[in-house]
Amino acid sequence: MPLSSASTIIVLAGRVCPTSWADPPYINGYNPLGGRRHVKRQTALSLMIGIVFAACAQPTTEEQLIRDAASALGGAERLTAVKTIVIEGKGTQYNLGQDVVPGAWGQTFTITQYRRSIDVPAGRARTELTRTPNFAYYLGPAEQRQIQGIDGAVGYNVAASGTATRVGEAAAGDRRAELVRHPIVAMRAALDPTSRVTNLRTEDGQSIVDVSTTDGRAFTLAIDAATKRPSQVTTMSDNVVLGDIRISTTFGDYQDVGGWQLPMRFTTKTDNFTSVEVHAATHVVDANAGDLAAPAAAASAAVPVAPAPNVTVADVSPGIWQLAGGSHRSVLVEFADRLVLFEAPQNDARTLAVIAKARELRPGKPLTHVVNSHHHFDHSGGIRAAVSEGLTIVTHMGNTTFFEEIVKRPHTLVPDALSKNPKPLKMEAVGDEKVITDGAMTMHLYDVPGEHSSTMLMAYFPRERLLLEADMYEPDEDLHVFAPRFLEEVKKRRVRVDRIVSLHSNVAPYDRLLKDAASMKQRR
């Protein structure tokens, strides 16, 4: 981030003092003229000079902390002159929100060919990596190349084909926030005389301050009391399921690199869940970072905005409908006195549209329950919306603690339906089996553990000989990683099935599962 152009600044051993009075000076974010522009300039200047000299004579404890941290890294003057940073190495990604049970961290991707390049003054960064799953992954065991970047307001991805696409505002905002999760970038922001550094406190041997910049960035900076080096940067973000989340990056294994103290280990956590670890093999300041401008195709594209959810209705059987029209479908089941929905997916917008469509289909009957297939964030992103609509959540017993927690979590950064319309959580846990029936329509809910999730439910309709499931078998896809295990679990239930209703595919004959499971078994 560039230094303020409002006045000429000399950084003297980390101490920031204005040397030109042509423009208003800024002292750690406090502009003496701010909000008082009616004061005559002469008076303002006298006041200002008094404040400046007083401040220069006696640094605040926050200023002293930042000054010491700058010295410990390599010096304030050098810090404010840094142009680029390039980190190369390897690491591990964890599967937040998609592991086998809520909160698990056993599923990992090995990261190789990692390179993160940052153009500090321009606010540009690009991360390139190859990731290889160490678990049964729905796309198979093959490695994937990922390129993600930010260039000012433009966030973008580059596909393996080389095609660049612009990402939505939320993802771009997260990538802008990620820029400060590096000690040099964080320290530059803290040293910027237009920034505010406040609220010094001490926790576990760390001195902690809050930093806010005039361009709207805010983060918490922890500085090790012993080494004086930055130890952690924390930013706040929104997650559809988790609401307000702390994303923290801890800096470890500091080494001397060309006179700089630079961390060789970056550990990023979402609240208490470790999401990525990077081990740097090289970490270089002011190396050639290459061209970090957003590719033209992304830079010239409009910011993509999620379209309004489209909910279409497809008859499956009398009293059973697929509510489709998006990547994640739901299924509506009509009983004599009520309607039951299977799946509240993705987010508020999708789930509220699905609930509205269900009520529109059978306006005379109350929609009372929603069955959740499994805890994965894309399949539970509408749970809070369903609670806000008064529905009872039916889920595998292994998910109940997690759902109790997510219903309680604050969503203040991006208020959602439940935070605007709080309702108590009503939940029914399913162990091995649960039957919902009115004598005619009968739905069995079965525990169906597997590699994809071990807190998973499928539904079986004996009269219709229908099996309803999510993610374990997608008839429309080419790869069927979980199909052999899924078939084993289905056979254990000794059910007679004619058709499979999948939440990501069209209804398919049971025979196709037999065929796809057999061919997948051979490939393995």
Q: Least separation, in Å, of the C-beta of 243 and Zn ion?
A: 21
Residue whose C-alpha is closest to residue 369's, from 348, 345, 387: 387
- Residue closest to Zn ion, measured at CB: 376
Shortest separation between residue 453's beta carbon and Zn ion, angstroms: 6
For the CB of residue 495, give the shortest distance to Zn ion in the complex, in Å. Answer: 22
What phi-psi label fits residue 465: left (phi over 0), alpha (psi between -120 and 50 degrees) or beta? left
Of 127 and 239, which has the nearer Cβ to Zn ion? Answer: 239
- Residue 98 Cβ vs Zn ion, minimum distance, rounded to whole Å: 6
Nearer to Zn ion, 232 or 346 (CB): 346
Instruction: Restricting to residues 468-497, name those near Zn ion by CB under 5 A.
Output: 471
Site for Zn ion in 333-372 (CB under 5 A): none
Contact 63, 28 (CB under 8 A): yes
Tell me the closest approach of the beta carbon of residue 386 to Zn ion, in angstroms: 18
Instruction: Pick between residue 186 and residue 457 the one whose CB is nearest to Zn ion.
Output: 457
Measured from the CB atom, the residue of 119 and 471 that comes closer to Zn ion is 471
Length of the chain: 524
Of residues 128-167, those binding Zn ion (CB under 5 A): none
Residue 110, token pair as written in the block: 């090995």
Query: Residue 502 Cβ, how far from Zn ion at the closest point, in Å?
Result: 12
HSE value, Cβ hemisphere, 13 Å, CA-based, for 193: 25
Task: Tell me whether residue 48 or residue 470 sits nearer to Zn ion (CB atom).
Answer: 470
User: Which positions from 299 to 318 touch Zn ion by CB under 5 A, shown as an x/- string?
Assistant: --------------------
Which pair of tokens denotes residue 212?
A: 């806010």
* Phi, psi of 164, deg, nearest 5: -100, 135
Q: Kindly state the smallest distance separating residue 339's Cβ from Zn ion, in Å.
A: 25
- The residue count for binding Zn ion (CB under 5 A) is 2
Nearer to Zn ion, 62 or 343 (CB): 343
Task: State which residue, 192 or 471, has the beta carbon closest to Zn ion.
Answer: 471
How far apart are CB 452 and Zn ion at their closest, in Å? 6
| CB of 269 or CB of 328, closer to Zn ion | 328
3-state secondary structure of 85: strand
β-strands 84-94, 15-18 pairing: unpaired
Q: How far apart are the first and last CA of the chain?
A: 51
Q: How far is CA 270 from the centre of its chain?
A: 8
**Residue 9: partners with Cβ closer than 8 Å, 6 or more residues away:** 3, 16, 17, 18, 19, 193
Token code pair at residue 272: 């208490």
Residue 377 CA to residue 392 CA, distance in Å, equals 18
- Min. distance of Cβ 139 from Zn ion in angstroms? 12
Whichever of 155 and 381 has its CB closer to Zn ion, that residue is 381
Specify whether the CB–CB gap between 239 and 270 falls below 8 A: yes
What are the DSSP calls for 369-427, one per residue? EEE-----HHHHTTHHHHHHTTPEEEEEGGGHHHHHHHHHS---SS--HHHHS-----E
Task: Specify the residue, 70 or 481, whose C-beta has the smaller distance to Zn ion.
Answer: 481
- Minimum distance from CB of 417 to Zn ion (Å)? 23
Using CB under 5 A as the binding rule, the residues of this chain from 372 to 431 that contact Zn ion are 376
Count of Cβ atoms closer than 10 Å to residue 523 Cβ = 10
- Whether residue 220 contacts residue 236, with contact meaning beta carbons closer than 8 Å, is answered with no
The residue type found at 330 is S
- Contact residues: Zn ion, CB under 5 A: 376, 471
